[in-house]
Amino acid sequence: IIGANTKVGPNCYLRGSTSIGENCHIGQSVEIKNCLILSNTNVGHLSYVGDSVLGEKGNFGAGTTVSNLRHDGKNHRSMVNGELIDTGRRKFGTIVGDGVHTGINTSIYPGRKLWPNTSTRPGEIVQKDITEV
């Protein structure tokens, strides 16, 4: 599903159960798999987002990559109320709050959460949840 006034750039690959809200922009050569992207969010060119949820009014800088697969074949775990919980999922990307911005070439580890209105610097590797602005 692609919402009204959403623009998808050339050479994009939208896979699986992907839903993109209204007034979004998906840049050139972006791959999106099994994601929910809420309205007014942009994903910059040359990015990959898989098995993830992106909130409203966010911007993924060019080259942002979301990792979604553990190399040991185990289920992903995620911190919930200070406790590491098994998600029951072999593939799990990221949960991103409203108003989140990533710098170019940000890499996000599987299962990490970026809380509302947080951001990353260019080239940052997100190894833990980002909870503070």
- Residues 39-61: pLDDT tens digits? 999 999 999 999 999 999 999 99
**pLDDT > 90 fraction of the chain, expressed in percent and rounded:** 90
Q: Is 25 assigned a catalytic role?
A: no
Average pLDDT score over the chain: 96
- Residues 98-116: pLDDT tens digits? 999 999 999 999 999 999 9
Q: Looking at 45, 71, 76, 101, which residue is catalytic? A: 45
State residue 124's pLDDT score.
Answer: 98
How open is the CA angle 6-28-53, to the nearest 5 degrees?
Answer: 55
The CATH architecture one would assign to domain 7-125 is 3 Solenoid (2.160)
Question: 13 φ, ψ to 5°?
Answer: -130, 105
- Rounded Cα distance, 125 and 63, in Å: 12
In the chain, where the domains are located: 7-125
Q: Is the pLDDT of residue 133 over 80?
A: no
